[in-house]
Amino acid sequence: MRKKIVAGNWKMNINVNETRTLIAGIHQEIEAFQLQNTRVVISPSHINLSTALALTKESIMEVAAQNMHQAKNGAFTGEVSADMLQSIGVQSVIIGHSERREYFKETDAILAEKVSAVLENGMEAIFCFGELLEDRKSGNHFKVVKSQLQNGLFHLESKDFKNIVLAYEPVWAIGTGETASPEQAQEMHALIRKTLAEKYNQEVADSVSILYGGSVKPANANEIFSKEDVDGGLIGGASLKPADFAAIIKAI
Ligand code: 13P
């Protein structure tokens, strides 16, 4: 049975003291939860990863990085490698978030290299993709999402997918308060799974967790998570509020 996952992407928010406070707050909110087959992931900025790892040692919470460079090492001032992340105990890395694609010009080809570097270092990639508003308006959303999936991941072998989590994040629903309807999310997640089955096999398609991201809040989480092919969420704004993040975890 594939895992349910609720992951909080903290983006470029909160300093180290606030990181400590937020982790304590989430712990307090979720300590009584009886979570089965469910993973809870938080993703602080690089500089706060070690703190977060230390504070979650005894906890159900896992820690993911938000990005990394694709090269092994070298003259890439300001960048962080897979080996650096792995060596401090990071087990997952978010790759291909739309903000990375848009503001940092990360192309499908770069993202494919990043995914490989994550896997080669024994970590898991949380691979994000999703269409722009103009893609959806022009009816190209399925085509765009399919090509992001193919270009970013289809160099992998089927065995690699045990370390891949997918996050469908329609760009028009990120930080906008707009959410894809549960039906729109389900429709896209089903297409993603079908595309995986066609390229690999049904087992791969059935075993990969596909998260939905884009303005998931306590008020809409239940409905979105009730859809068959939605295995959880990648949460932005609401993951910075312990009570909201906990309510979303409860909805899974
Ligand atoms: P919001 O939940 O703030 O819309 O952000 C979603 C997101 O980008 C998660 O990666």
Whether 122 is in the pocket of ligand 1, judged by its Cβ within 6 Å, is no
- How does residue 121 score in pLDDT terms, banded at 50, 70 and 90? very high
Summarize the confidence of residues 132-156 as an average pLDDT: 97
Which ligand 1 atom minimizes the distance to the CA of 174?
4
> What CATH number is given to the structural domain containing 185?
3.20.20.70
pLDDT of residue 175: 86
Cα-based torsion angle of the residue sequence 39, 40, 44, 48 in order, rounded to the nearest 10 degrees: -90
Distance 156 CA to ligand 1 centre (A): 27
Which ligand 1 atom minimizes the distance to the CA of 177?
4
Residue with tokens 């770069």: 110
Sign of CA dihedral 205, 146, 4, 115: positive
Whether 234 is in the pocket of ligand 1, judged by its Cβ within 6 Å, is yes
Residue with tokens 């990375």: 100
Summarize the confidence of residues 206-211 as an average pLDDT: 98
Summarize the confidence of residues 12-31 as an average pLDDT: 98
- Atom 7, ligand 1: which residue's CA is nearest? 236
How many other C-beta atoms can be found within 10 angstroms of the C-beta atom of residue 66?
A: 21
pTM greater than 0.95: yes
- Atom 5, ligand 1: which residue's CA is nearest? 236
Distance 180 CA to ligand 1 centre (A): 12
pLDDT of residue 74: 98
- How does residue 176 score in pLDDT terms, banded at 50, 70 and 90? confident
What DSSP character marks residue 14?
Answer: -
Q: Which domain holds residue 128?
A: 4-251
Which ligand 1 atom minimizes the distance to the CA of 167?
10
pLDDT of residue 22: 98
Nearest to 43 by CA among 27, 74, 22, 69: 22
Distance 171 CA to ligand 1 centre (A): 9
pLDDT score of 182 more than 90: yes
Which ligand 1 atom minimizes the distance to the CA of 237?
3
Whether 237 is in the pocket of ligand 1, judged by its Cβ within 6 Å, is yes
Whether 235 is in the pocket of ligand 1, judged by its Cβ within 6 Å, is yes
How many other C-beta atoms can be found within 10 angstroms of the C-beta atom of residue 32?
A: 7
Distance 74 CA to ligand 1 centre (A): 32
For 216-221, which contacts have Cβ atoms below 8 Å and span 24 or more sequence positions?
216/179, 216/248, 217/179, 217/244, 217/248, 218/244, 218/247, 218/248, 218/251, 220/179, 221/247, 221/248, 221/251, 221/252
Q: Which residues are catalytic?
A: 97, 169
- Helices (H) and strands (E) counted in the chain, each on its own, are 11, 8
Whether 175 is in the pocket of ligand 1, judged by its Cβ within 6 Å, is yes
Distance 5 CA to ligand 1 centre (A): 15
pLDDT of residue 1: 82
pLDDT of residue 178: 83
Q: How many domains does the chain have?
A: 1
